[in-house]
Amino acid sequence: MSVRMPAPNGTILARRREIVEALRRIVPGEGVVAEATELKPFETDGLTAYRQVPLAAVLPETTAEVAAILSYCHANEIPVVPRGSGTSLSGGALPLADGVLLVLSRFNRILEIDFDNRCAVVQPGVTNLGITKAVEHRGFYYAPDPSSQIACSIGGNVAENSGGVHCLKYGLTANNVLGIEFVTIEGEVIRLGGKHLDAEGYDLLGLMTGSEGLLGVVTEVTVRILQKPETARALLLGFPTSEQAGACVAAIIGQGIIPGGMEMMDRPAIHAAEAFVHAGYPLDVEALLIVELDGPQAEVDHLLAVVEGIATAEGAVTAKVSQSEDERARFWAGRKAAFPAVGRISPDYLCMDGTIPRKELPRVLAGMRALSEKHGLAVANVFHAGDGNLHPLILYDASRDDELSRAEAFGNDILRLCVEVGGVLTGEHGVGVEKRDLMPEMFSEDDLRHQQRVKCAFDDKHLLNPGKMFPVLHRCAELGRMHVHRGQVPFPDLPRF
Amino acid sequence: MREIVRAAIAEDAPLLVEGTGSKRGLGKPETGLANARRLSLAECRGVTLYEPEELVLSARAGTPIAEIEALLAAHRQRLEFEPMDLGPLHGLASGLGTIGGVLACNLAGPRRIARGSARDHVLGLTAVSGRGEVFRAGGRVVKNVTGYDLSKGLAGSFGTLAVMTSVTMKVMPDVETEATLVLRGLADDAAAGAMAAAMGSSAEVSGAAHLPYAVAGRVAEGALGREAATLIRIEGVEPSVEARAAHLSAGLSRVGRLERLEGEASRALWRDVRDVRPFADGTDKPVWRISVAPTRGHELVMSLRMAAAIDAFYDWQGGLVWLRMEAGEPEADLVRQAVRRHGGGHATLMRASEAARTSAPVFEPQPDALARLSKRLKDQFDPAGILNPGRMG
């Protein structure tokens, strides 16, 4: 828990009773949670190493209520932390002691399904999988599939620009959202896009998507739905080295093939997964690739043969093609269970989330082995090989005194390595609290200032989700000054936490 | 570039930011700006990174799209969003546009309906904001959620927030083959139904356009003749295209007479749809680009036909309406009211005389709260208002 949150504002803490009463006037009944025991379940999200009970939690049901809550908090300068299902892996929904937790779980209705225009209009608390469930009777689905899709909300997906295993072919959330309604911290309701494409003016939809709850609170989402591919088949490929597996990935893409999914696991991950779910993975290989081809039957059959040929040429020692839906599911079972499987062999693990240019994989894996020795902790790797998104799982035991801090230091070193080879700090989990202090590894002071200027346009008092994403909170007035002289000392009095 | 912007701030001299100037006819005219100077990025050109196996390309902002597309084609790759070329519509040559210009205007072509627009394919960029500060956004990898997506924020900003100096794009493999199924003689509403059925099938259609009879003769050098043509494009590896074409044909042949175009004949057709060739008539008759829900496009056109002399055709499954005003007046209020009545969307005056663009709002006017937010963003990035002032009016 090395990342510090902003110090709570004592004045707000002292006004707690009055704030709760004001919220109750806006959301009657059980929509305001203020008892310590009832607030406990809200104290953390998917990044469980960080915990904080919020000042109060409020669960509105209408956009008007959200607007009234935000307007009240803005007028009274009370921080607000939005929360969907609370599955963020980066602490995006970590509450603040002096902040209202705005929980969108009651926004759980599907408002409209429009098959002819291939879209669905839903409230933000609807789960990712809930959208697919609502449209699959006509053969449709919603493409982005983060691993938490049973639980995570579409509003949270918009906030985090969530990915999944099919991003190379089908894009991230940003590429699958057509429109949103959101409420600004001042309580104004704004609609962007809709069933039509490419709303004009500045691409505020693009800025809102992935803004981690720092710019506004989403109250409605219009998503693209797609017809499910006619068929999908998977290949299980084992390689003696990760270099060969990497070369196989490059060769597949070099041949002009974009698989629906392409996943890689290293030896520790393979062994953990196999021991857990008995997926039939080969245990004598250093790297395992799962390549899934989806689309029309004729295309899948054709490409399977091509991919198998490439794999053999690149030195695959195992090559199995799924012959049934059951077998395809079994190939995936180990990959999908990789996290809990690692959880079985280690009391705790830390899941990292960098993205690298694919060709740098061997270098990064070698670097990781060296770091593993340096920090004295083991690591298992699962990798969205198609889009370069790496998930190293660092194994540690929180009950041993310094292992968590060592794991965190190891994780930070891995992310620095990702940036060093031309990659980024986070591919799909978000910056949140977890990677906040690493932002300067990737961005210069001026890069970050321009990002914060977006924040200032939306929320100049820094009331929405403060303490996330940015390591230094520049006051908007300070950012407003023209930066003309080089070498100017950048505001030494600013709060750094 | 930074010094130019800083000098402009110091001297309070607005900068008219452009690539080669091929899109000068789009947006509010720049007349009446005291002290303004043109900032051309035409010399800021060249591909700086291209790794085909990584599906990534970086280029300086002034690099011609034509140069990028030629380089990609040599490696059997392409820009998946099929950037349109505005030149022909504005009476200019083809191939003048730059990668920076395409991104600044967020232009795309017929494949937009299936694969997204320029904003969906930008991975990162470097720019100089109206504060005279250089900043970098995004990166070079597909999956990246580190910080706000400023690259998307600059897409479609018409150079009013920052001067892009280089951009990094996701590229994709080119397809082995393509075919276009052409349904003949359908009325607009029947065509909308056919396009919705095709797009909603599992055939992975990558283009759905409808050319009413008056327009059909003005593409691909008259190859379609004067009979309404509804175009359904399928791309991919050969066995797949065959199977999907057969699957689609079985359904579509019940709707109308079906023809099929292959290879270059198909490509030529979609190029002309993409570049609005039917209205590339050498005049400055107003041309609107209207984006509505796909199933509403034909209703909108029907209602406008009753109120004004118009010529129209459809892309994006019917959701993109290209509209030419035959009487020479843009009729902005009429058009925008019709858009609002048909489920909402937006109408952009893509071509019109300077006088018409001065008197009518070129871009869809925004509701107050949205306009205020956009203004605040502009003020954050360009507080002195020196980058393309008024262009997005």
- Answer yes or no: are the C-beta atoms of A356 and A423 closer than 8 Å: yes
Q: What is the DSSP letter of A360?
A: G
Residues of A in contact with B173 (CB under 8 A): 253, 255-258
Same domain? For A248 and A309 the reply is yes
Candidates B126, B145, B161: best to mutate against A (most CBs of A within 10 A) is B145
The pLDDT of residue A486 is: 43
Is A59 part of any domain? yes
Work out how many domains chain A is built from and give that number: 3
Across the interface, whether the CB atoms of B51 and A174 are under 8 A apart is answered no
Task: For residue A422, give the CATH number of its domain.
Answer: 3.30.70.2740
CATH code of the domain containing A288? 3.30.70.2190
Which pLDDT belongs to residue B192?
A: 98
Residue-range definition of the domain harbouring residue A403: 346-430
Nearest alpha-carbon partner for B183 in B195, B172, B166, B171 = B195
CA angle B377, B380, B382 (to 5 degrees): 100
Q: Given an 8 Å threshold on Cβ–Cβ distance, is B173 in contact with A359? A: no
Say what the pLDDT of residue A294 is: 95
Strand B229-236 and strand B162-170: the pairing is unpaired
Quick check: B53 and A428 CB within 8 A? no
Q: Is any Cβ of chain A less than 8 angstroms from the Cβ of B370?
A: yes
Q: What is the CATH number of the domain that holds A44?
A: 3.30.43.10
**Where do the domains of chain B lie, and which CATH numbers do they carry?**
2-173 (3.30.465.10), 177-274 (3.30.70.2190), 282-359 (3.30.70)
The amino acid at residue B354 is E
**Which of A314, A339, A364 marks a domain boundary?**
A339
Q: Specify the pLDDT at position A408.
A: 92
Beta bridge partners of A80: A100, A464
Give the Cα separation of A123 and B301 in Å (integer): 32
Are residues B146 and A425, on separate chains, in Cβ contact within 8 Å? yes
Q: Are residues A320 and A398 located together in one domain of the fold?
A: no
For residue B135, list chain A residues with Cβ-Cβ distance below 8 A. 444, 446-447, 449-450
User: Of A318, A339, A360, which marks where a domain is finished?
Assistant: A339
| Residue at A63 is within a domain | yes
Domain boundary among A401, A430, A459: A430
CB contact under 8 A, B156 and A209: no
Residue A66: which H helix or E strand, with range? Answer: helix A63-75
Chain B from 215 to 244: CB within 8 A of any A CB: 236-237, 239-240, 242-244
What's the mean pLDDT when you consider all of chain B? Answer: 96
Confidence at residue A495, expressed as pLDDT on a 0 to 100 scale: 52
Say if residue B82's pLDDT is above 90. yes
**Chain A residues within 8 A of B204 when measuring between CB atoms:** 295-296
Q: Are residues A325 and A350 in the same domain?
A: no
The pLDDT tens digits of the residues spanning B269-313 come to 999 999 999 999 999 999 999 999 999 999 999 999 999 999 999
Query: What confidence score (pLDDT) does residue A492 get?
Result: 47
A197 occurs within a structural domain:
no
Q: Cβ distance A130 to A110 under 8 Å?
A: yes
Question: Quick one: pLDDT at residue A379?
Answer: 95
Contact across the interface for B200 and A116, Cβ inside 8 Å: yes
Residue A390, domain member (yes or no): yes
Does residue A371 belong to any structural domain of this protein?
A: yes
> Which residues of B fall within a CB distance of 8 Å from A184?
369, 373
Q: Which of B55, B136, B293 sits opposite A196 (nearest CB)?
A: B293
The answer to whether residue A402 is domain-embedded is yes
Same domain, A37 and A87: yes
In angstroms, the CA A56 to CA A15 distance is 12
Question: Nearest Cβ partner of A453 from B319, B363, B381?
Answer: B381
The strand order across the sheet containing A100-103 reads: A32-33, A56-58, A100-103, A80-83
Mean pLDDT for B218-223 is 94
| CB crowding B126-147: b at 16 or more within 10 Å, else e | bbbbbbbbbbbbbbbbbbbbbb
- Using CA atoms, how far apart are residues A117 and B197, in angstroms rounded to an integer? 10
A-chain residues within 8 Å CB-CB of B237? 299, 302-303
For residues A305 and A284, membership in a common domain is answered with yes
- Residue B34: predicted pLDDT: 81
User: Each residue of B297-354: pLDDT tens digit?
Assistant: 999 999 999 999 999 999 999 999 999 999 999 999 999 999 999 999 999 999 999 9
Interface of B with A in 164-203 (CB under 8 A): 172-176, 196, 199-203
Q: Is residue A170 part of a domain?
A: no
What are the chain A neighbours of B133 within 8 Å (beta carbons)? 446, 449-450, 483
Contact (CB, 8 A) for B274 and B169: no
pLDDT at A485: 44
CB pairs under 8 A between A and B: 282
10-residue mean pLDDT series, chain A (497 residues) = 84 97 95 95 91 97 98 98 95 96 98 98 98 97 92 97 90 97 98 92 97 98 96 96 93 93 95 94 96 94 96 96 95 90 90 93 92 96 92 93 92 96 95 94 95 96 96 81 46 50
Report percent pLDDT > 70 for chain A: 96
- pLDDT, residue A484, reads 45
Give per-residue pLDDT as tens, A190-243: 999 999 998 889 999 999 999 999 999 999 999 999 999 999 999 999 999 999
Residues A365 and A334 in one domain: no
Question: Is residue A134 domain-resident?
Answer: no
- Show the tokens assigned to A445: 């002071």
Q: Do residues A331 and A266 both lie within one domain?
A: yes
How many alpha carbons fall within 13 Å on the CB side of residue A189?
11
Both A330 and A350 in a single domain? no
Mark yes or no for CB contact A198/B156 under 8 Å.
yes
Chain B nearest C-alpha distance from A36 (Å): 33
Q: Are A331 and A351 contained in the same domain?
A: no
CB contact under 8 A, A355 and B348: no
Interface of B with A in 250-289 (CB under 8 A): none
Chain A positions in Cβ-Cβ contact with residue B120 (cut-off 8 Å) = 171, 174-175
The pLDDT value recorded for residue A19 is 98
pLDDT of residue A401: 83
Q: Are residues A331 and A367 in the same domain?
A: no
Task: Let me know whether A331 and A239 are in one domain.
Answer: yes
B145 touches chain A (CB under 8 A): yes
Shared-domain flag, residues A321 and A403: no
Q: What is the pLDDT of residue A206?
A: 97
Average pLDDT over residues B123-140: 97
User: Which of B143, B172, B375, B382 would best serve as a mutation to test chain A binding (most A beta carbons within 10 A)?
Assistant: B143
